[in-house]
A and B are shown apart, each in its own frame.
Chain A
Amino acid sequence: MPNITLLTRDDAHFTFPSAQSDYILDAAAAANLCLPAICHEGTCGACHAHVSQGHYELGQIGDGALPDAPSGGVLLCRCRPEGDLVIDVPYPQADVHHQQIPRREATIVSLKPVDSSAVVVTLALTPDPALGTAADFTPGQYMEVWIPGTTIRRAYSMANLPNWDGRLEFVIRLHKGGAFSTYLAERARPGDRLRVRGPLGRFALDETSARPRYLIGGGCGFGPILSMLRRLADLQDMQPTTLIFAADREDEMFGAEATIRELETALPKLKVMLTVWHPQGSWSGLTGTAADAFAAALDKATELPDVYVCGPPVLLESVKAVAKARGLPPTQIFTEQVQAG
């Protein structure tokens, strides 16, 4: 794969790989380097740069956007490498942004059992001079959390909203023998200090989309779906939204029924489908898997929705199979895989 070297105006170097099929701007983003750009399509000229070494291919560029093309001028959003490139960019290194992943310390505020085997864990981030006190994340993202005194870490998605008070809330299903589950069940106490790193992950709502939304969660995959729903409620979203939440048994609903009712009040266009795969007793609602409920909903839909799905691999695969069979474009499916732990 070609190597791209960027030379900034103040002589800093950034080197990253780029496939020949990738535009330089996208390859830089994949390497966690955010370069100045606006339109991403060869028109506005904001990503103008100059190739000093190497061969490249320029895609279509708007009239007048690149007056110095014959002498090596390029727009990075329309430039693909044909080999290693050295590129002079007209800005200083301070204009190249890295998405640095903060490492923080947090304290357990509360541990609240919510059903037969799940617990809601609330952490408070320790104020930090460089980062402040905010819990800044996008609904759908997760944090890595370390078991105190160990090098063992697990990833949990936030179930709450980003906030200025530094609160992180996780909905965690306890699994017998799991390292973090054992810590939570046996040793964890309010006041415990934990190391955390994040936010991480790209599972997020496409808020610019005008399509209806389906949010599908199963097993441990309820946390980020809840955060997304809370986000939609917080912004008084008006688009039709369907929540499909699938539990293995009716006593594994994370005690979320009351929260879901509140969300239904806040979101007049929210439709809720709770389904249980293996009912144990008096469950009178839907039965079956998340994929079953998804298929039933999709068969009645007048417009193919955006689908956000979080859960174990088997759930993701079964939902994707339903989507494929019904002609849903893959670009309209957003997935996040979770594992018990």
Chain B
Amino acid sequence: MFCFQCEQTRHTEAGPGCAGPKGVCGKDEVTADLQDLLIYQLKGIGQYRTRLGALGRPDREADSFVLFALFATLTNVNFDHNRFVAMIADAAKIRDRLRVAYEAASRAAGKAPEVLDGPAAFVPADTLLGLLAQAAAHGVRAGIETLGADVVGLRGLLLFGLKGTAAYEHHAQVLGVMRDASADGIAHTLDFLAGDPTDLNVMLEEAVALGHCNFTTMEALDAANTGMFGEPTPAPVRITPIAGKAILVSGHDLRDLGAILEATKDTGINVYTHGELLPAHGYPKLRAHPHLAGNFGGAWQNQHNDFAAFPGPIVMTSNCMIEPQPTYRNRMFTTGPAGWPGLRHIDNGDFSLVVKAAHALPGFAASEPERTITAGFGHHAVLGVADKVVDAVKSGALNHFFLIGGCDGAEHGRNYYTEFAEAVPKDSMILTLGCVKYRFHEQEFGTVAGLPRLLDCGQCNDAYSALVIAKALAEAFKCGVNELPLSLIISWFEQKAVAVFLSLLAVGVRNVRLGPTLPAFLTPALLDVLVQRFGVQPITTADADLKAALQRRAA
């Protein structure tokens, strides 16, 4: 195996990247190699799907499979090699179906069909050992000896950003929203990668195009979430348990949470969110369920403690999962793209077994004193008070905005984000999104100019909300986003953050502070390009970066 797609990838004398029997995340060699092979096949699907699209014959079923399969290869999503063996077989069937459809459509249009090779012509072996032998040629570093690390790194940036976009589009699609631009863009990027690109400038342009595609996709997900569950409004979220039977829902999938709330209606079971499902409490139609009791635990990396302490079943709906501990393994379930060998997977939306488990498990013996935090500051809510915000800036009462967003993680270096939030001056506002907020959101930030100083925009995909807010403010002040008194302090961990990062570059946001470490797949030369073209800066210390951000404003 070789994998360097996430922030925690191993750093050794041989360079960055997880190799050997197991990655830092817990993904084993077999699973990692099968994921490489599946991605190779998806490029083949992309080749035919792009050509079918050009002939006016897109294929939604294939699009849907591609989204799901790419999502399954994100960090901390699916560790079950058996599921990848099955997906590899499915991918071959879908690709073959698309080939037949493409050739027919092409002839019907009076054109001779192209004869495609590479992934389009790949035939997977019929045994596990055979698949693993094939995978050796299709890893993320394929060709590095002749092409060099810059080409491989930029291909990595594209692939990993693509995974993030696919994850967002999957979430939107299960709620019934699919944008042609997203599906076409994802297929196009796969087709582009199938051609083994080597021109750095062309790849960089593709990365920016993917950033635009991801922006559209985040907009689609926002439309899907708000369309299904209403526009988020600020609401208190209880973070202490209530006596009684309980189910914990983790991951990112609002549809699964909604289905579990329906399945537990009038059963006396309380449903708690975990991790990145915390923003669910902002959505009126989810909050309307009286048994959506609160949020339990901290960010994903603390799940061993949080899940062990939770006295009911746990449902993991997507990332971020780490190896389930024996103390809670039997009461943990996965849905959607998530998987771990030996955990029960629910793929039909029937949560009756989870309900049964909740009744059989003890639940919380007693309630703890109520404590709450506030969620639900999406773009609708913030722009609803845009006049007040604009006046506060004009009057000087509100001096600066800091967007501290992205992923949390275990490393020591992530204390930076806590220190930064704590050091933000009292006359400035903090917008947050993603799970990095768990580092500071229980603190009391008070108000500025009569508005809360800490506004949680939601999940990482709600970077869309933050960008809508930024664009609206820029319009109000008749300036560009980069002229606003706004600093973006981004914490990345996995590939959705890569997709968001590409969107920031695509819409022209400059001077993003990125940490806690920079992506291992980006070589010094590639970083130099990002610094030169987009002003991307690595984080240093909270104090120094804060000073620099405020000085830029002054200047």
Shortest B86–chain A CB gap in Å is: 7
Contacts of B81 in A (CB 8 A): 208, 210
Q: Do residues B341 and A207 form an inter-chain contact, with CB atoms below 8 A?
A: yes
Please indicate the chain B residues that have their CB under 8 angstroms from the CB of A184 in the complex. Answer: none
Given the complex of chains A and B, what is the CA–CA distance between A208 and B32 in angstroms?
12
- Mask, A118-132, CB within 8 Å of B = 1, is 000000000011111
* Contact sample, A vs B, 24 pairs, CB 8 Å cutoff: A34-B325, A34-B327, A38-B322, A38-B410, A39-B8, A39-B25, A43-B8, A43-B10, A43-B24, A45-B410, A46-B301, A64-B413, A68-B412, A95-B305, A97-B325, A132-B362, A134-B361, A138-B326, A164-B360, A165-B360, A210-B128, A235-B342, A237-B82, A239-B128
- Pick the most buried of B30, B301, B305, B323: most chain A CB atoms within 10 A of its CB: B305
Query: CA separation between A134 and B12, bound complex, in Å?
Result: 45
Residues in chain B near residue A71, CB distance under 8 A? none
Interface string of A51-70 (1 = CB under 8 A from B): 00000000010111111100
In the assembled complex, B11 has its CB within 8 A of some CB on chain A: yes
A236 to chain B, nearest CB (A): 9
CB distance from A300 to the nearest CB of B (A): 16
User: Does A164 lie within 8 Å of B356, measured CB to CB?
Assistant: yes
Q: Which of B86, B308, B330, B363 contacts A97 (CB 8 A)?
A: B308
Cα separation A253 to B139 with both chains bound (whole Å) = 49
CB closest residue in chain B, given A39: B24
A320 within 8 Å of B (CB atoms): no
Nearest CB on A from B525, distance (A): 20
Q: Please indicate the chain A residues that have their CB under 8 angstroms from the CB of B309 in the complex.
A: 94
Judge if B26 is at the interface, Cβ distance under 8 Å.
Answer: yes
Q: In the bound complex, how far is the Cα of B543 from the Cα of A49, in angstroms?
A: 25
User: Taking beta carbons and an 8 Å cutoff, which residues of A are in contact with B?
Assistant: 34, 36-39, 41, 43-46, 48, 60, 62-68, 91, 94-95, 97, 99, 128-134, 136-138, 162, 164-166, 205, 207-208, 210, 231, 235, 237-239, 302-303
C-alpha spacing A336/B85, complex, angstroms: 31
The listed residue (B86, B301, B365, B410) touching A238 by CB distance below 8 A is: B86
Point out which of B22, B325, B341 has the most chain A C-beta atoms below 10 A from its C-beta: B341
Contact code string B349-361 (vs A, CB < 8 Å = 1, else 0): 0000100110111
Instruction: Apart from A43-B11, A134-B360, list 16 A-B contacts with CB within 8 A.
Output: A34-B325, A39-B8, A44-B411, A45-B412, A65-B412, A67-B413, A91-B305, A128-B362, A129-B362, A130-B365, A132-B360, A136-B330, A164-B353, A164-B356, A166-B360, A208-B341
Please state if A99 and B413 are interface contacts (CB–CB under 8 Å).
Answer: no
Nearest CB of B to A137, in Å: 8
- Chain A residues with Cβ below 8 Å from B359 are 133, 164
Question: Which of A136, A137, A207 meets B342, CB within 8 Å?
Answer: A207
A162's closest neighbor in chain B, by CB?
B330
Partner of B24, one of A36, A44, A95, A164: A44
Query: Within the assembled complex, what's the spacing in Å between the Cα atoms of A137 and B326?
Result: 9
Q: Is the interface of A mostly helix, strand, loop or mixed?
A: loop
Contacts of A238 in B (CB 8 A): 82, 85-86
Contacts of A133 in B (CB 8 A): 359-360
For window 412-462 of B, CB contacts with A under 8 Å fall at 412-413
Most buried by B among A38, A39, A210: A210
Cβ of A268 to closest chain B Cβ, rounded Å: 13
Q: Give Cα distance in the complex from A129 to B366, angstroms.
A: 12
Q: Nearest Cβ in chain A — how far from B422, in angstroms?
A: 18
Which residues on B sit within 8 Å (CB–CB) of A94?
A: 305, 309
Which B371-413 residues sit within 8 Å CB-CB of chain A?
Answer: 409-413
Nearest CB in chain B: distance from A23 CB, A: 16
Q: Give the size category of B's interface with A.
A: 35 or more
Count contacts between A and B, CB distance < 8 Å.
Answer: 118
Q: Does B59 contact A (CB under 8 A)?
A: no
Cα distance A162–B26 in the bound complex, in angstroms: 25
Q: How far is the CA of A132 from the CA of B357 in the complex (A)?
A: 10
Instruction: Name which residue of chain A comes closest to B411, CB basis.
Output: A45
Would you call B79 an interface residue if the criterion is a C-beta within 8 Å of the partner chain's C-beta atoms?
yes
Tell me whether B301 and A38 are in contact (CB under 8 A): yes
- B331 located at the interface, meaning its Cβ lies under 8 Å from any Cβ of chain A in the complex: yes
- A303-B129 contact, Cβ under 8 Å, with A129-B362, A166-B360, A235-B344: yes
Q: Once the chains are docked, how many angstroms separate the CA of A99 from the CA of B327?
A: 7
Within the complex, the shortest CB–CB distance from A313 to chain B, in Å, comes to 27
* List of 10 A-B pairs having minimum Cβ-Cβ separation, nearest first: A207-B342, A164-B360, A46-B410, A63-B11, A207-B341, A45-B411, A210-B30, A39-B24, A132-B362, A134-B360
A166 to B329, CA, bound (A): 17
CB neighbours of A132 from chain B (8 A): 311, 360-363
Q: Does B233 belong to the interface (CB within 8 Å)?
A: no
Given A45-B411, A97-B327, A162-B330, A39 and B26 contact (CB-CB distance below 8 Å): yes
> Is B517 engaged at the interface, CB distance under 8 Å to the other chain?
yes
Contact residues of B between 279 and 327, Cβ < 8 Å to A: 301-302, 304-305, 308-309, 311, 322-323, 325-327
Report how far A152 CA is from B309 CA in the complex, Å.
34
Q: Which residue of A lies closest to B329 (CB)?
A: A138
Contacts of B362 in A (CB 8 A): 128-132
- Give the complex CA separation of A207 and B28 in angstroms: 12
Which chain A residues border B308 with CB–CB below 8 Å? Answer: 34, 97
The residues in B between 1 and 58 inclusive whose CB is less than 8 angstroms from any CB of A are: 8, 10-12, 22, 24-26, 28, 30
Please indicate the chain A residues that have their CB under 8 angstroms from the CB of B411 in the complex. Answer: 44-45, 64-65
Give the residue name and chain of the B residue nearest to A100 (CB): B327
Chain B residues with CB under 8 A of A97: 304-305, 308, 325, 327
Closest chain-B Cβ to A320's Cβ sits at a distance in Å of 24
Complex: chain B residue closest to A238, CB-CB: B82
When C-beta atoms are compared, the residue in chain B nearest to A205 turns out to be: B342
Q: How far is the CA of A94 from the CA of B413 in the complex (A)?
A: 24
The reply to whether A129 and B412 contact each other, CB–CB distance below 8 Å, is no
Give min CB distance, A297 to chain B, whole Å: 18
The CB with the most chain B CB atoms within 10 A, among A46, A66, A94, is that of: A46
Report B442 CB to chain A, min CB distance, Å: 15
A338 → chain B closest CB, angstroms:
22
Contacts of A63 in B (CB 8 A): 11
Chain B, range 101-147, C-beta contacts under 8 Å to A: 128-129
Question: Considering only CB atoms, which chain B residue lies closest to A60 in the complex?
Answer: B12
Query: Inside 8 A of B129's CB, which chain A residues have their CB?
Result: 302-303
Within 241-297 of B, Cβ neighbours of A (below 8 Å) are at none
With a CB–CB cut-off of 8 A, which chain A residues contact B342?
Answer: 205, 207-208, 231, 235
User: What B residues does A41 contact at CB under 8 A?
Assistant: 10, 22, 24
- Chain B residues with CB under 8 Å of A95's CB are 305
**Residue of B with least CB distance to A166:** B360
Give the residue name and chain of the A residue nearest to B345 (CB): A235
Shortest CB-to-CB span from B297 to chain A, Å, is 12
Q: Which chain A positions have C-beta within 8 A of B304?
A: 34, 36-38, 97
Write the B80-95 contact mask toward A (1 if CB under 8 angstroms, else 0): 0110011000000000
Residue of A nearest to B83 (CB): A238
Within 8 Å CB of B344, what residues of A?
235
Specify which of B28, B30, B357 is in contact with A164 (CB 8 Å cutoff): B357
CA distance A34 to B328 in the complex (A): 13
Q: How distant is B246 from chain A, measured CB to nearest CB, in Å?
A: 11
Q: How far is the CA of A68 from the CA of B411 in the complex (A)?
A: 12
